[in-house]
Chain A
Amino acid sequence: MTDPVLYNYDLDIDCYTVRMIAGCLGIALELRNVDMFPGNEHLSPEMLALNPQGRLPVLVEDSLVLTQPLSIILHLAETRCPEHPLLPTDPGIGARMLDWMTFAAREMGVAGAARATAMLGAPGDLDALRAQARRALRLVDDHLTLQGFKGLGFVAGPEVTLADLMLFPPFALSRDFGIDHDAFPALRNWARRVRKTKGFSTMPGIPDYH
């Protein structure tokens, strides 16, 4: 199999999510860097032909073109390393993982929008986006608090799964759109555990522990 091609912008939160998770899964990607800001290259005719939504990341593998982080991550994991420990074997834990991955894609999407508005000049009502992002982060913090009473350290169960890795970037980058980590004790300690995942990597705005 040749390496899948990822159209990537290093500072985009969703591109980071895909790169970081591919790294944790041990999957090599061929990166094609797209100058999203300030170049707006993701809106060029060539890129719009590939993804009419005008967004990154885009994964291309032979004739397959995928445009959503959730489908990109699941496709990579299921076709290239279905036995990987980041994919739970227990059906209940697997279902919870998918539930939280969908939450990450749908409810946490506001974090990416808030960050793009705050940092990259994207249009949007920053106060409203920030309030929605805070609400979504609180739902995860509340959930992790309850998981903790059951002795479970991660969103789907006792071990880290793809869902935790997908939820990590919006929390780790929340200061970029004006939400501090002070008010999320459960997320803070969970993030320390998530960082220990083998193959984990950071991006600008997420300090390496040195």
Chain B
Amino acid sequence: MSINGWFPLALSDAITAGSSAGAIVKGLEVVVWRDDAGNAHAWEDRCPHRGMKMSFGFVRGDHIACLYHGWQYGVDGQCQKIPAHPELDVPKSICVNTYGAAEAGGMIWAALGEAGDAPTLPDATAVRSLYIEVPLNTALAALPSAVGAKGFTPEGPVARLDSRWGMLLVGLQEIGETSCALHIAVAGRATPETCAQIAMAAARLRDDVEAGVAA
């Protein structure tokens, strides 16, 4: 399967400096991480050494150390250090597959395949990411009524909804055929109470659509 475009992986807030997480886009495993300088990165979630998931490793300043044998990869994906051979000048061929990364609308995006320009979205307050064990289209169909919207405007991997809490931006991540993530942000600034209400409505949506699929 070829995957082309920009895809949302996480809410910007959820990946704090010095941390990482795994994200799957249509079966493709990606690690999203933020260095101590605050820049977000998206790489293939696979260590070139023995294939360990990079998302199991640790962010240290400006590099990730693989959990398995501690090989260290800098922001360009190049392996810089192999702890078992500290004197070794590491060959340039040892490099993690890296993707373009951008932040927009309160989310972190990865450029996969032929991606084109990064998405432009209004400033937004990140609310929460919701992981649901149903096909993306099933979740999407239930989304408007869950947030008091009449419908949604799809813009590639974002749905805009005119909700009872204002304009919602929902990043759409298709994990696989039967699971998805919705990254929910609200345009502009929102109070903590508003965010809590949206988060609770979102959790209800998740539980309802999963129960509907099971029934």
Q: Are the C-beta atoms of A183 and B203 separated by less than 8 Å?
A: no
- Bound form: Cα–Cα A186–B13 in Å: 10
A149/B22 contact (C-beta < 8 A), A142-B203, A182-B131, A209-B58 known:
no
Q: Are the C-beta atoms of B10 and A185 separated by less than 8 Å?
A: yes
Complex contacts, B199 vs chain A, CB 8 Å: 142, 145-146, 149
Complex contacts, A150 vs chain B, CB 8 Å: 192, 196
Q: Are the C-beta atoms of A182 and B21 separated by less than 8 Å?
A: yes
**A:89-119 near B, CB below 8 Å:** none
A189/B65 contact (C-beta < 8 A), A146-B199, A149-B196 known:
no
Q: Which of B14, B193, B196, B203 contacts A189 (CB 8 A)?
A: B14
B170 lies within 8 A of chain A by Cβ: no
- Bound form: Cα–Cα A101–B16 in Å: 28
Complex contacts, B22 vs chain A, CB 8 Å: 180-182
- Bound form: Cα–Cα A181–B19 in Å: 13
Nearest Cβ distance between residue A178 and chain B, in whole angstroms?
A: 13
Complex contacts, B14 vs chain A, CB 8 Å: 185, 188-189
- Bound form: Cα–Cα A146–B195 in Å: 9
- Bound form: Cα–Cα A182–B131 in Å: 9
B200 lies within 8 A of chain A by Cβ: yes
Q: How large is the interface on B (under 10, 10 to 19, 20 to 34, 35 or more residues)?
A: 20 to 34
Nearest Cβ distance between residue B99 and chain A, in whole angstroms?
A: 17
Q: Are the C-beta atoms of B181 and A145 separated by less than 8 Å?
A: no
- Bound form: Cα–Cα A184–B11 in Å: 12
Complex contacts, A185 vs chain B, CB 8 Å: 10-11, 14, 21, 128-129
Q: Are the C-beta atoms of B19 and A192 separated by less than 8 Å?
A: yes
- Bound form: Cα–Cα A53–B19 in Å: 41
B67 lies within 8 A of chain A by Cβ: yes
Q: Are the C-beta atoms of B58 and A182 separated by less than 8 Å?
A: no
- Bound form: Cα–Cα A61–B1 in Å: 62
**B:1-55 near A, CB below 8 Å:** 10-11, 14, 16, 19, 21-24, 55
| Smallest Cβ-Cβ distance to A147: which chain B residue | B196
| Smallest Cβ-Cβ distance to B15: which chain A residue | A185
**B:74-94 near A, CB below 8 Å:** none
Q: Are the C-beta atoms of A189 and B131 separated by less than 8 Å?
A: no
B122 lies within 8 A of chain A by Cβ: no
| Smallest Cβ-Cβ distance to A131: which chain B residue | B133
Complex contacts, A210 vs chain B, CB 8 Å: 58, 65, 70
Q: Are the C-beta atoms of B19 and A189 separated by less than 8 Å?
A: yes
- Bound form: Cα–Cα A192–B16 in Å: 10
Complex contacts, A209 vs chain B, CB 8 Å: 58
**A:31-62 near B, CB below 8 Å:** none
Complex contacts, B65 vs chain A, CB 8 Å: 210
Nearest Cβ distance between residue B67 and chain A, in whole angstroms?
A: 6
Q: Which of B21, B181, B192 contacts A188 (CB 8 A)?
A: B21
**A:160-210 near B, CB below 8 Å:** 180-186, 188-189, 192, 207, 209-210
Q: Are the C-beta atoms of A145 and B128 separated by less than 8 Å?
A: yes
Complex contacts, A192 vs chain B, CB 8 Å: 16, 19
| Smallest Cβ-Cβ distance to B65: which chain A residue | A210
Nearest Cβ distance between residue B198 and chain A, in whole angstroms?
A: 10
Complex contacts, B193 vs chain A, CB 8 Å: 149
Nearest Cβ distance between residue A100 and chain B, in whole angstroms?
A: 18
A182/B11 contact (C-beta < 8 A), A149-B199, A207-B67, A210-B58 known:
no
- Bound form: Cα–Cα A31–B24 in Å: 42
The 5 residue pairs across chains A and B that have the minimum distance between CB atoms = A183-B131, A185-B14, A149-B192, A149-B196, A182-B22
- If A182-B24, A189-B14, A189-B19 are given as contacts, then 6 extra A-B residue pairs at C-beta distance below 8 Å, sorted by A number, are A182-B22, A182-B131, A188-B14, A188-B19, A189-B16, A210-B65
Q: A residues engaging B (CB < 8 A)?
A: 142, 145-146, 149-151, 180-186, 188-189, 192, 207, 209-210
